[in-house]
Amino acid sequence: MPNYKLTIAYDGTRYNGWQKQGNTEKTIQGKLEAVLERFAGQYVEINGAGRTDAGVHAKGQVANFKLDKAISCEELCRYFAEYLPEDICVLSAKRVDERFHARLTATKKHYRYCICNNAKHADVFNRKFEMHVKEPLDVDKMTEAAGYFVGEHDFSSFCSNKHMKKSKVRTVYGVTINCDGDKIIIDYEGDGFLYNMVRIMTGTLIEVGLGQRLPEDIPEIIARKDRQAAGFTAQAQGLFLMEVFYE
Amino acid sequence: MPNYKLTIAYDGTRYNGWQKQGNTEKTIQGKLEAVLERFAGQYVEINGAGRTDAGVHAKGQVANFKLDKAISCEELCRYFAEYLPEDICVLSAKRVDERFHARLTATKKHYRYCICNNAKHADVFNRKFEMHVKEPLDVDKMTEAAGYFVGEHDFSSFCSNKHMKKSKVRTVYGVTINCDGDKIIIDYEGDGFLYNMVRIMTGTLIEVGLGQRLPEDIPEIIARKDRQAAGFTAQAQGLFLMEVFYE
């Protein structure tokens, strides 16, 4: 069956996340499937690479779907542009190998967390796209702490889903922190991330930046394999799924 | 009477502009006055420097108001931060000379217009903060055209208000155009701007950038003193009142 890959950007503010949850929920997947159904004349399931939460954004979400017959990718893109709401945009569509699966064949993901730091007021223009932390953060300490995340670890302490029975071992390839004025940008790359993992790592780094924890506490937090050991879950609106990589 | 100057940022998306128009309208002035009334225990009129339209934003709007008795600016700022909606922010408040009037004593204003150019799709994150022009714009030609706006002119051709009887002579100090990737930023500085003037100048520059007009057409357009002679009114959402200057 012809298999299609979509690259998608969205402002997640108005949505209950990527994944469809029943009929009435307002999700990115649901919006895309509704337009695709209209285009294809039948319901078609779309698989997303990352199940972003309510309020989380994407600049490069990837999804795929299969159809009975081949279609024109250009025509499909124009159709999405016409019928999708203005906060969801299909950046590109292309036909891919039948074995391609947006989630299962992904080899690396890049998430970004944006913080507005040490500004007296939240930025009215970026309020949906960053977390405002009023108190000054020690970025050197945060960078030191972030180094401990890198590598293959059991990230149970950084997972909100207690009922998940699958392995919680993931490999973090890198965490880099950049500052630009009052903006702090944290980039995470890894082979996969558990439910809320990026937000809990970010919350923990913020606590380090505030001096509430030490960088060298991180290995112990990881070793505990207990959600209670880690920091708070940073707000959804600061998080972006930037890119998904494949072989 | 004690006189206070406010500097204000707002995302104008949800509002019917700055100026109050009856009781039911949702305006920036109305929101600010409602909070101030609560603080002061009585209705107090707030004068804004620029009457931004519906959907127009501000990073440095200035306003002033007078009170019977002196108040603490710090306390007032905290009060605004607590009671204003998250898309309006009082950046600072300070007591000023009694003769200060946000609009009447302003000597210069800086407006910025933001365009997303030559990108296949509108940017989902900036869709409320820029105008998307799909076709490539010739920025050199636009810059050449912009030069003709500089100086003291009767800008009747660039004013949407037909019933305005006051002088339409204004002095534009400078128009500069900068590009950064697919973003085009046009900065306008002048002693004052007529109703829709910045948006009509921008629409006219876009028409020049598209090759529909020539840069050297501008002097003739100005000379005509006729709204019909100029270009279209660029969308409200790309416009920002950046700063207001005083002696």
Model ipTM value = 0.88
What pLDDT is attached to residue A224?
A: 96
**Cβ distance B111 to B193 under 8 Å?**
yes
Which of helix, strand or coil describes residue B75?
helix
Nearest CA in chain A to B120: A91
CA–CA gap between residue A103 and residue B80 (Å, rounded): 46
CA distance A94 to A91: 10
pLDDT band, residue B125 (cuts 50/70/90): very high
Both tokens assigned to A237: 């609106």
Residue A159, amino acid: C
* pLDDT value of position B130: 97
Restricting to B residues 18-77, those with a Cβ less than 8 Å away from any Cβ of A are 57, 59
Nearest CA distance, B193 vs chain A (angstrom): 24
**Residue B53 among the catalytic residues:** yes
Angle between helices B73-83 and B28-40 (to 10 degrees): 120
Q: Could you tell me the pLDDT band of residue B165, with boundaries at 50, 70 and 90?
A: confident
Residue A144: is it exposed, middle or buried by C-beta count within 10 angstroms (0-12/13-18/19+)? middle
Q: Give me the pLDDT at residue B23, please.
A: 65
The model's pTM: 0.91
CB contact under 8 Å between A88 and B124, yes or no, is: yes
List Cα–Cα distances, B245 to A84, A122, B106, B115, in angstroms: 43, 24, 6, 25
The pLDDT value recorded for residue A125 is 96
Contact check, Cβ <8 Å, B124/A9: yes
CB B57 within 8 A of CB B129: yes
**Residue B188: pLDDT band with limits 50, 70, 90:** very high
Distance of alpha carbon A152 from its chain centroid, rounded? 19
According to DSSP, the residues that pair with A239 across neighbouring strands are: A113
Helix, strand, coil percentages for chain A (3-state, nearest 5): 30, 30, 40
> With an 8 Å Cβ cutoff, is A122 touching chain B?
yes
Higher pLDDT, residue A239 or B162:
A239
Residues of chain A found within 8 Å of residue B129, distances taken between Cβ atoms: 125
Q: What is the pLDDT of residues B13-57, one digit of tens each?
A: 999 999 988 765 799 999 999 999 999 999 999 999 999 999 999
Phi, psi at residue A112, to the nearest 5°?
Answer: -125, 135
CB A61 within 8 A of CB A42: no
What does pLDDT average to in each consecutive run of 10 residues of chain A (247 residues)? 97 95 82 94 94 95 95 94 96 96 97 94 94 96 98 96 87 97 96 96 98 97 96 97 97
Please, what sign has the CA dihedral across residues A179, A182, A187, A193? positive
C-alpha B107, offset from chain centre: 15
What pLDDT score was predicted for residue A154?
97
